[in-house]
Amino acid sequence: MPGLNISEDSTSEDILPFARMVHELLSLPVTMRSKNKKGVRLEKGRAVDMNYTGPVLEEALLRNSVIHTIPDRGAYKGIPVVVAPVQDSEGNPIAAVGVVDVVCTIDLASVFGNYPQIVRQVEERKKPAL
């Protein structure tokens, strides 16, 4: 039976389906590696590196925590990224997956400045007609 199994020793070929799903879901560059092996880097719908690691992926694995940062080296130097560990059932890091952090590049105040007005408009549309 086909399946997806990720472990600390997963190869780039093993993790590619998961990384591709994240890439297609978010339409953002995605990187992923297992704890003990290098992984993948996906951009614009294709794998551009099947032997990839990056400083933030490695740090997320060491710290076993989510990291929001702007790397000072590597393929995404100077670009905001967010990287999260993939944990086993006991909370141990077995892999890390990262994406370009477009949220930190957006002026959220201006994007959501009209949010209360939008909520009111939606609520008005929900009211039954008399």
- Angle, CA of 40, 77 and 107, to the nearest 5°: 105
Residue pLDDT, tens place only, 2-50? 778 899 999 999 999 999 999 999 999 999 999 999 999 999 999 999 9
Please count the other Cβ atoms lying within 10 Å of the Cβ belonging to residue 115: 10
Q: pLDDT averaged over the chain?
A: 88
* Predicted structure pTM score: 0.80
Q: Residue 22 phi/psi, 5° resolution?
A: -65, -45
Q: Measured at the alpha carbon of residue 87, what is the angle toward residues 10 and 30, in degrees to the nearest 5?
A: 65
CA distances from 68 to 14, 31, 43, 48, 57 (A): 26, 14, 20, 23, 11
Give the separation between CA 128 and CA 130, rounded to whole angstroms: 6
Q: Please state which architecture CATH assigns to domain 12-104.
A: 2-Layer Sandwich (3.30)
In the chain, how long is the greatest CA-to-CA distance? 65
